[in-house]
Amino acid sequence: MSTIKPTTTQTISMRQQVLDNAAQALGKETEGPSFSERMGGAVREVADAQNTSAALTRAYEMGEVQDLSKVMVSQQVSSLGFQMVLNVRNKMLSAYKDIMNMPV
């Protein structure tokens, strides 16, 4: 007579539980904003920082603003934000190319 070992039934039970959890996870919508909404929001924030920086720079050139440090900090924030968006774009493009070059 053959009997099923307890470790085998435990393994099968664990595998079934993992499969059930995966099926539930695939069926559920994630809460919160989507990736595209988050990226769009980040790009808008960077654009706003660039517009603010440009406005402060113009105001300083016209003599309306006397605080040079505020203008410089605004320019650095704008520059760092743009570099971040550019790096994210480059990484996403690289990942897309890697996926497209994968053999099927």
**Domain chopping of the chain, boundaries:** 30-100
Dump pLDDT digits (tens) for 4-37: 555 666 777 777 777 777 767 776 665 788 888 8
- pTM, two decimal places: 0.63
Q: How many CB atoms lie within 10 A of CB 71?
A: 19
Q: What percent of the chain has pLDDT over 90?
A: 56
Residue with tokens 């040079």: 68
| SS3 category, 64 | coil
